[in-house]
Structure 1
Amino acid sequence: MNNRLIIDAHLDLAMNAIEWNRDLSRPIDEIRQRELFKPDKPDRGNGTVCLPELRKGNIGLVVATQLSRVAPLGSGLPGWHSPQQAWAMTQAQRVWYQEMEKQGELRLIHNLAGLEAHLKLWEEAEDTNDLPIGYILSLEGADSLVDVDYLQEAYSYGLRALGLSHFGPGRYAPGTKKTGPLDAKAYDLMREMSQLNMILDVTHLTDEGFDEALDFYDGPIWASHHNVRKIVPNQRQLTDAQIKRLIERDAVIGGMLDCWAMDVRFIDTVSDPWQLDIKLEMLVDHWDHICQLAGNAKHIGIGSDLDGIFGTEQSPWDLDTIADLQKFDAILKKKGYSDADIDAVFHGNWLRFLRKNWK
């Protein structure tokens, strides 16, 4: 049987290409080989994502990010010292995506007609090895938008989804490991997003910011890469109340494969996935929990976040590359999921969401 089509709703492709200096058009073994004995990043030599591996795993559509944060004076956090610098970095990332389009590696998907044409291309192809991978452009954290007027320019070049925050303090909203409400600028930004029918990604928001965003924003909402707080207690995870609110909004929640978000025992930079026996199937516990709250499997999907500043050292031990997402087929069957539900998790739920909101 042919592999099912997969949509992965969160990959930091351009960050890896520009800041990690990874040529994602090359084989994964070559990328890893180039990074041997480089100590500058914790995941050197451990990458899991490249364009050939996406094709190998029949991952024909991804949500790909621009990511560039501003670090406030005295915060001690990595990041740019001004919004203008952060904006410039996102533009370098945008140009990389465009260069990959010119090479036939990627295809920007920004409306329903383009989505349907791309799906038809992948469905009818006998061999996907030379097909472009579709990508929907998302901005992870709004720090780089110098002011709200910049959103219109970003939309014009294809940005269709946006998260207000990332880690730590943010210009529009505080994020992971912080508390507190949205900044006043966030409301102006969401008003403009609503006019453009952009997708609001609630990932990384504080609990206060999450509630305020859902109360205020009347456009489409998703959680691109989020797991369950009841299983792994952490502010970065979704509470049952938050999950129920997302279900009420017909949102889809992408399960992520960073080990700390899957298993409460895992400690960043300390634990070993092999020693703790952290496997892909552990993500299904998070999906099951969401399904129980929803009463169906219509609100879960994949948002792997693979190579999101971590690699195999912080991924399930039975995943070598992103192509191994196909292993979820057998895992979900073993857990009792029907063929229709597996299709929904792999791609159907994200497609339903996009078709509904891009009509």
Structure 2
Amino acid sequence: MFIIDAHLDLSMNAMEWNRNLRLPVNEIRAREKGLTDKPDRGRGVVALPELRKGNIGLVVATQIARFVAPDNPLPGWFSPEQAWAQTQGQLAWYQAMEEAGEMVAITDLTSLDRHLAVWNNEKPNDQKPIGYILSLEGADSIVDTYYLQWAYEYGLRAVGPAHYGPGRYAQGTDATGKMTPLGHELLKEMERLNIILDATHLCDDSFWDAMDHFNGPVWASHNNCRALVDHNRQFSDEQIKELIARNAVIGGALDAWMMLPGWERGVSDPQAMNCSLEVMIDHLDHICQLAGNALHVGIGSDLDGAFGKEQCPYDLETIADLQKVATLLEKRGYSATDIENVMHGNWLRFLRNAWSK
């Protein structure tokens, strides 16, 4: 079945992890054997050949670069201009992948329909480019709001105003507080340009502030449920209901600590904790029960988002195993139409609605 994954940090992996994503996963792992600079060395699960193998023909792919103030202990750049330059290097990698025929930017309904026709032509996937919708995870690198016009012109179509901690535009995971005045300006410019608001990572205060000030399309590319894992990184039922009311789609994430309670980074083991793909289905099903239908969930795996096999479902060897999700949904009693919606249909409906304006 055709799959859309709404959150992959491909350029981060290419540029900061120095992974050649044109190679199969096993070759990337072999190249990293013995390296210890990152906790997931030799354990990555994402590469372009594996996306093709899994029939994952369309992804939301990120740029990411955080600005950190002097009192912020998180890793990041010491000025917005440096952060901007980092995202431009990431953009250059995506453009190089386009030039090589490995990827293709999807920016409007015309390019979307053209791309879907290629992936539905019943020919082997080996030579098909991976379609990508460009998203910015954390808006710190937008030096000033007029930079957003430039970003839109090079293909940016979704923005998450915050990532982890405090930000220039909004407050993210583990932080508190509303959006800044600059953040309200950002939302206005996003609305003018019809850029999708990614509510993922907004802390509760900033989430509700954004909902009060933004009238454009909203999604949550990679988020799970606080009712199942009690942490501010997850959405409360009230937040999920607000997103449902706004016709949003929420992508289920596969980072183990977000999937089940009690996970200890670097200590817990997926098999021992019984962290399987079924657990993501639990989160998706919770959202479906709140909605009364299966129209507001999809996949936003976040795989290789600074973690690998050591911190993802034990029954997933590479991202190609997302194909198993369809079978798991069927076992839960989901209809064929519901399954197609979860695997790709809900994201496509969302994009058609958002881009038809």
TM-score by length of 2: 0.99
Per-residue CA deviation, residues 317-354 of structure 1 (Å, 9 max, x unaligned), is 00010000001111111111111111000000000000
Gaps of 5+ in 1: none
The equivalent of 2:273 in structure 1 is: 276
Between the two proteins, the alignment pairs up a number of residues equal to: 356
Query: Which residues of 2 match residues 278-297 of structure 1 at below 5 A?
Result: 278-297=275-294
Instruction: Write the distance in 2 (CA, Å) between the matches of 1:321 and 1:240.
Output: 31
Instruction: Write the distance in 2 (CA, Å) between the matches of 1:69 and 1:250.
Output: 29
Query: Which residues of 2 match residues 242-253 of structure 1 at below 5 A?
Result: 242-253=239-250
1:249 is displaced (CA, Å) by 0.3
Deviation larger for 68-77 or 233-242: 68-77
Instruction: Write the distance in 2 (CA, Å) between the matches of 1:8 and 1:223.
Output: 12
The equivalent of 1:188 in structure 2 is: 185
Gaps of 5+ in 2: none
Q: Which of 16, 32, 37 pairs up with 1:35?
A: 32
Question: 2:272 is paired with a residue of what secondary structure?
Answer: helix
Q: Which of 129, 150, 167 pairs up with 2:147?
A: 150
Per-residue CA deviation, residues 116-147 of structure 1 (Å, 9 max, x unaligned), is 11001110142111100100000000000111
Q: Which of 331, 334, 337 pairs up with 1:334?
A: 331
Deviation larger for 161-170 or 73-82: 73-82
Amino acid at match of 1:324: D
Q: Which of 165, 168, 172 pairs up with 1:168?
A: 165
Deviation larger for 134-143 or 74-83: 74-83
Question: 1:276 is paired with a residue of what secondary structure?
Answer: coil
1:290 is displaced (CA, Å) by 0.5
The equivalent of 2:22 in structure 1 is: 25
Q: Tell me, yes or no, if structure 1 residue 258 matches structure 2 residue 258.
A: no
Question: 1:301 is paired with a residue of what secondary structure?
Answer: strand
Instruction: Write the distance in 2 (CA, Å) between the matches of 1:68 and 1:186.
Output: 17
Instruction: Write the distance in 1 (CA, Å) between the matches of 2:167 and 2:32.
Output: 31
Amino acid at match of 2:130: I
Question: 2:62 is paired with a residue of what secondary structure?
Answer: strand
1:277 is displaced (CA, Å) by 1.5
Q: Share of identical aligned residues, percent?
A: 59
The equivalent of 1:217 in structure 2 is: 214
Amino acid at match of 1:183: T
Instruction: Write the distance in 2 (CA, Å) between the matches of 1:223 and 1:174.
Output: 16
Instruction: Write the distance in 1 (CA, Å) between the matches of 2:68 and 2:210.
Output: 23
Deviation larger for 9-18 or 31-40: 31-40
RMSD value, Cα: 0.7
1:289 is displaced (CA, Å) by 0.7
1:74 is displaced (CA, Å) by 2.8
Query: Which residues of 2 match residues 309-320 of structure 1 at below 5 A?
Result: 309-320=306-317
Instruction: Write the distance in 2 (CA, Å) between the matches of 1:172 and 1:46.
Output: 34
Question: 1:274 is paired with a residue of what secondary structure?
Answer: coil
Amino acid at match of 2:91: R
Q: Which of 9, 32, 57 pairs up with 1:60?
A: 57
Q: Which of 77, 81, 84 pairs up with 2:78?
A: 81
Q: Tell me, yes or no, if structure 1 residue 97 matches structure 2 residue 94.
A: yes
Amino acid at match of 2:293: N
1:67 is displaced (CA, Å) by 0.4
The equivalent of 2:203 in structure 1 is: 206
Q: Tell me, yes or no, if structure 1 residue 179 matches structure 2 residue 211.
A: no
Per-residue CA deviation, residues 80-133 of structure 1 (Å, 9 max, x unaligned), is 111111000000000000000001000000001100110011101421111001
Q: Which of 93, 102, 122 pairs up with 2:119?
A: 122
The equivalent of 2:342 in structure 1 is: 345
Deviation larger for 268-277 or 282-291: 268-277
1:17 is displaced (CA, Å) by 0.2
Question: 1:135 is paired with a residue of what secondary structure?
Answer: strand
1:265 is displaced (CA, Å) by 2.4
Instruction: Write the distance in 2 (CA, Å) between the matches of 1:121 and 1:319.
Output: 27
TM-score by length of 1: 0.98
